[in-house]
Amino acid sequence: MPGSPKLKPLCLMKIMLEKTDAQKPITVPEIIAELAEYGIKAERKAIYDDLNVLRAFGIDIETIKTKTVGYYAASHLFDLPELKLLVDAVQSSRFITSKKSEALIQKLSTLTSTAQAKQLNRQVYMAGRAKAFNESAFYNVDAIHEAINNGKKITFQYFDYDIHKNRVFRKNGGLYKATPIMMIWNDDKYYLVAHCDEHNEIRHYRIDRMCDAAAIDEDGENIEQFDMAEYNTHMFGMYSGELMQADITFENSLVNVVLDQFGKDVIMKESEPGWFDIKVDVSVSPVFLSWMFQLGRRASIKGPKKLINAMRQLLKENMCNYNR
């Protein structure tokens, strides 16, 4: 199909970005042959002029001299290590379905040369890592962003799965209505934190368990000074529960673990040689208690009594499962 000469600089840019890199330069005769594939005739002198036009436009065209003279795009929108990092994140994310992961990686592959794009087929799925299978979750995110940006409420259905992997909608399929505040990533899951109209309180929802999320023409509630970082710190595994100040003691070997969980602002005080104490607000839940349990004898709850009793009760209930 014959091409318009006016398209020549654009086609040349496409060729340079897609077909070349530092390991794969292209010569002028090869450029002329590539342009011919677009139905565009070009002369050698015109190619030099067009390469200079691309340089003036901001495309980093470099020259390499061996037995011949070659040209290549020295930089792309993303460097190859950056694209590898993005591909790894997409492949390992549980929130993104396998089908959507493949589509996103194909799009990421267009941001570098075809030779380097082959290196993006990295197959880094984590062993045993389950991928989401709610394809609409990806579009729920877009609807939530729209509502947040415009200060509107959203409606959605919310469901669980039964043992046959069928959706079982809560509220018999009725709509939830809420003011979206923010989305957060926790334990490789994506959550919406929102003010729920029905309960008049802040709640969170798994986005991959939402269906048909849509912004509606109703102004959202005025949520004042909501501290997302604090909310996320208190919520172990995004399980809600009564908020109370915990007095916990740790062996010094767990300093990194404590900082990872509670952040660098947590105050650690030496209690006895080799041990330190912290006081933090936590949402009391089986997830928090299980987190404490996995630390074994290197950590223990010193107070309050109600929290200690909750741990005792959890241990007692679990022991019953293994005394049958």
Architecture of domain 229-321: 2-Layer Sandwich (3.30)
Question: Using CA atoms, how far apart are residues 275 and 297, in angstroms rounded to an integer?
Answer: 12
H or E segment to which residue 105 belongs: helix 98-109
Neighbouring CB atoms inside 10 A of 255's CB total: 12
Q: What mean pLDDT is predicted for residues 147-173? A: 89
* Cβ 288 vs Cβ 282: under 8 Å: yes
The pLDDT score that the predictor gives to residue 225 is: 67
The pLDDT score that the predictor gives to residue 128 is: 44
Question: Using CA atoms, how far apart are residues 235 and 282, in angstroms rounded to an integer?
Answer: 7
| Residue of 285, 277, 283, 282 lying closest to 302 (CA atoms) | 277
pLDDT digits (tens, 9 = 90+) for 94-140: 667 777 878 888 888 877 777 777 777 654 444 444 555 666 777 88
Q: Residue 153 burial (CB < 10 Å; 0-12/13-18/19+)? A: buried
> Does position 174 have pLDDT exceeding 90, yes or no?
yes
Which range among 50-54, 121-125, 138-142, 301-305 shows the weakest confidence by mean pLDDT?
121-125
> Does position 189 have pLDDT exceeding 80, yes or no?
no
| Residue of 283, 285, 291 lying closest to 258 (CA atoms) | 291
Q: What mean pLDDT is predicted for residues 236-245? A: 68
pTM, two decimals, is: 0.54
Distances in whole angstroms, Cα of residue 17 to Cα of each of 39, 132, 185, 290: 19, 34, 34, 51
Alpha helices (H) along 110-152: 114-117, 137-150
Give me the CATH code for the 5-73 domain, please: 1.10.10.10
DSSP 26: B
Confidence of residue 217 (pLDDT cuts 50, 70, 90): very high
Q: What mean pLDDT is predicted for residues 65-70? A: 88
Q: What mean pLDDT is predicted for residues 137-159? A: 88
The pLDDT score that the predictor gives to residue 227 is: 66
